[in-house]
Structure formats: structure tokens, C-alpha cells
């Protein structure tokens, strides 16, 4: 047992590893369970094969209580990049991930697992800057104001200052943090237009096509992988009912209502609801126009019920956080409205990392270009 690992932590890691090996060999039917158990007892930890890593990553998605889009969990493509630990190589593979997962609009669920010492400080690979203004307002996405400040502290000079400037990636590797600008062909943005209201298109809204989460630690069999960015595809309400409309985000419902010519003097006119509906229609229309895969809240909730049926046939319980599974738009019209779920977390799974600027990281220093 390594001297640096407390005995109780080591015991927990071994217990998780044994549980994972049993799960892997039971569900896949692969032989060799006893040999892998012997490997664990000999080494004190589990060195995952690529097949085990892929299975574990897929099950982590299957176990994600906050995700309503788990039906295609078995299709997740996993890039085993545990040998990649240098900044430039990590960035090169991230570009491969972004371009490959986009797949010409037919988005492929993809995960890239990097080696030890690698961490991506952005919470998603593609994020828009939030520039703080002297009067307290924010140009861009207010949610990313702290990240923007952090990246500027690392040496980023800022973009053109538009509401949709793509932030650089802060990649930690080998004890240093370096910044990398994403090329336009790796971000693939969609212009938001409405099928019947040109004024909404004139607002100049857009959003990126691919949501790649990059601030979650992948936990499999007692092993942790800090750099394991992964993507599915967007649900339209994520963009139109949250990102662009939350008051602490872009807060665009008043502008959309004005474009629609709605009476906004009182909420009793339901202008908020009507503007929200039309913006959701605009997002779906725009992604469909560009041939970019996107889910809608009615289809994805029915797909989740199908996922529950398949899991029941396999003898597995479906866990979930009801408040996350319900869409923020018309939740009572979905088949999940009257459902209840056990929200306890099980592994393999993902755990959230604290923002890099909130954590003291001895020995990690910025690399200035």
C-alpha cells in the first residue's frame, strides 16, 4: 500500500474496485474476473484496461442522476488518452474531440480521458466571456464573469467585447497552466432566427452547437480522472429557457418580447410565457436549419421513460433528481411530472470540481506567452 494513501481511503478504493470488477464482468460476460481481482490485490489499485474504462464511462453516464438524456448511454465513444499529459498534445486532442463529436451536425456522444496531472479549468470547452463593466453590468454571459476574470489574470487580453466572445481554454499539465484559443471551426455556432419573426433574428443571438462538460472528475473503480471532458447534445430548453433567458444570464426575454411586439406592462398578459415559447421555437428552428442535432423537452422526457423501461428489464433501478429531470418549460405536460426517483449517487459517476480560482494549488503556476 502506498505510504501516501491513508489506510481507510485505500480500503475504500479497493472496495470500489472490487465492486466495479464484479459489475463489469457480470454485465459484459467477459472472463477473467479472478485474475483482475488478483491484479488488484497485488498492486493495491486498479489499472483499467481500455475496455474497462469505456464501460465505466458509459455506466457513469447511466448513473448520472441529473441527466434526462441517458437513453443512448451505450453509444458513448471513449478516447483513451491516459498517455497524453503535455499541454500541446492535450489541446490537439481536444480539437479532435470537438470536430469529431460534432460529426457534421450528427453529434456523437464522446468522452476524452487524459492522463495524470491534466485538468481543464473551464467548466465547458466552449464558453462565452462575461466582461464586467464599471457600472456593474456584464457584457456577455454573467455566469462566466469569474472565469473571464481568472483567464485575464492568466494573461488573456480579452476578445472583441461582443456578447458572444469564445473564451480560451486554460489547460493545466505538468505543473503549469497554459491558455489556448479555440479556432472558429472547432466551436460551430448557430445563428438564432425565428421561422416567422425576422425581428428575433435581428437581435444577433447565437449559441454554440456542442456542450462539452469539462469540470467533472470521472470516478471508476476507485480511480479518479480529473480531465475527462464529455458531450451529448443540447436540449433546446437549456439554451432558450435558461442560458439566454435567466435573469442572471443573458436575460433576453424583454428583448424577445419587444421583437414580437408584446405588451410587457404587466406579466398578466403572459408576455414572459409567449416570449419564452417563441425563443424555444427559434432555437429549434435554427439548429434544424443548420442540420445540428438537438433534443426537445417532449421527446427527451418520453425517451427517458423508455430508458426506465429498458433498465427495469435489465434489473437495474433508475436513480434521478426530479428537479433536474423536469424541463424548465411546460414540465407538467411531460411524462415525468408525477414520477418519483431515488436520488442517491452510485459509482461509476462524475463529481464536480471546484473552480480553479477558488482552490489553492501549490506548485501550479501560469505559463505566460
Which residues have a catalytic role annotated?
A: 67, 70, 233, 238
190: buried, middle or exposed (CB in 10 Å: 19+, 13-18, 0-12)? Answer: buried
Cβ atoms within 10 Å, residue 117 = 15
Query: Half-sphere exposure of residue 258, counting CA atoms within 13 Å on the CB side?
Result: 6
CB 267 within 8 A of CB 145: no
Of residues 249, 50, 267, 99, the one with CA closest to residue 257: 267
- Rounded to whole angstroms, the Cα distance separating 339 from 93 reads 40
CA dist 22 to 28, 44, 316, 349, Å? 10, 17, 15, 16
Bridge-based pairing of strands 119-120 and 110-114 is: unpaired
CA dist 225 to 20, 48, 190, Å? 15, 11, 32
- Rounded to whole angstroms, the Cα distance separating 112 from 78 reads 6
**Rounded to 5 degrees, what are φ and ψ at 128?**
-95, 140
- Rounded to whole angstroms, the Cα distance separating 29 from 159 reads 52
Within the chain, where are the H helices?
7-28, 33-43, 50-62, 87-102, 145-153, 198-201, 236-238, 253-260, 271-289, 297-313, 322-325
| Residue 231: strand, helix, or coil | strand
CB 61 within 8 A of CB 76: yes
| Residue 248: strand, helix, or coil | coil
Amino acid at each position: 500500500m502506498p505510504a501516501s494513501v491513508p489506510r481507510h481511503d485505500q480500503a475504500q478504493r479497493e472496495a470500489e474496485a472490487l465492486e466495479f470488477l464484479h459489475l463489469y464482468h457480470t454485465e459484459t460476460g467477459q472472463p477473467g474476473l479472478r485474475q483482475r481481482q488478483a491484479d488488484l490485490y497485488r498492486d493495491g489499485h486498479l489499472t483499467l484496461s481500455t475496455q474497462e474504462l469505456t464501460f465505466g464511462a458509459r455506466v457513469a453516464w447511466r448513473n448520472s442522476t441529473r441527466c434526462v438524456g441517458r437513453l443512448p448511454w451505450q453509444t458513448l465513444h471513449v478516447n483513451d488518452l491516459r498517455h497524453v499529459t503535455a499541454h500541446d498534445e492535450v489541446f490537439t486532442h481536444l480539437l479532435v474531440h470537438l470536430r469529431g463529436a460534432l460529426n457534421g451536425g450528427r453529434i456523437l456522444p464522446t468522452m476524452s480521458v487524459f492522463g495524470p496531472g491534466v485538468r481543464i479549468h473551464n467548466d465547458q470547452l466552449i464558453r462565452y466571456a462575461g466582461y464586467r463593466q464599471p457600472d456593474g453590468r456584464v457584457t456577455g454571459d454573467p455566469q462566466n464573469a469569474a472565469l473571464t476574470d481568472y483567464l485575464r489574470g492568466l494573461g488573456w487580453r480579452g476578445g472583441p467585447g461582443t456578447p458572444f466572445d469564445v473564451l480560451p481554454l486554460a489547460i493545466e499539465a505538468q505543473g503549469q497552466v497554459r491558455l489556448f484559443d479555440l479556432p472558429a471551426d472547432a466551436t460551430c455556432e448557430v445563428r438564432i432566427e425565428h421561422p416567422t419573426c425576422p425581428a428575433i433574428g435581428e437581435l444577433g443571438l447565437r449559441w454554440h452547437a456542442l456542450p462539452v462538460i469539462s469540470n467533472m472528475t470521472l470516478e471508476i473503480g476507485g480511480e479518479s480522472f480529473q480531465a475527462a471532458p464529455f458531450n451529448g447534445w443540447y436540449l433546446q430548453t437549456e439554451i432558450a429557457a435558461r442560458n439566454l433567458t435567466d435573469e442572471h444570464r443573458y436575460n433576453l426575454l424583454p428583448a424577445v418580447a419587444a421583437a414580437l411586439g408584446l405588451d410587457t406592462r404587466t406579466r398578466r398578459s403572459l408576455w414572459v410565457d409567449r416570449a419564452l415559447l417563441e425563443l424555444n421555437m427559434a432555437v429549434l428552428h435554427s439548429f434544424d436549419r443548420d442540420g445540428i442535432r438537438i433534443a426537445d423537452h417532449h421527446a427527451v422526457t418520453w425517451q427517458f421513460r423508455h430508458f426506465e423501461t429498458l433498465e427495469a428489464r435489465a434489473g437495474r433501478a433508475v436513480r434521478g433528481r426530479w428537479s433536474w429531470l423536469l424541463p424548465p418549460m411546460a414540465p407538467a405536460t411531460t411524462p415525468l411530472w408525477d414520477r418519483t426517483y431515488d436520488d442517491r449517487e452510485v459509482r461509476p459517476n462524475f463529481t464536480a470540481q471546484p473552480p480553479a480560482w477558488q482552490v489553492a494549488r501549490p506548485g501550479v503556476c501560469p505559463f505566460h506567452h
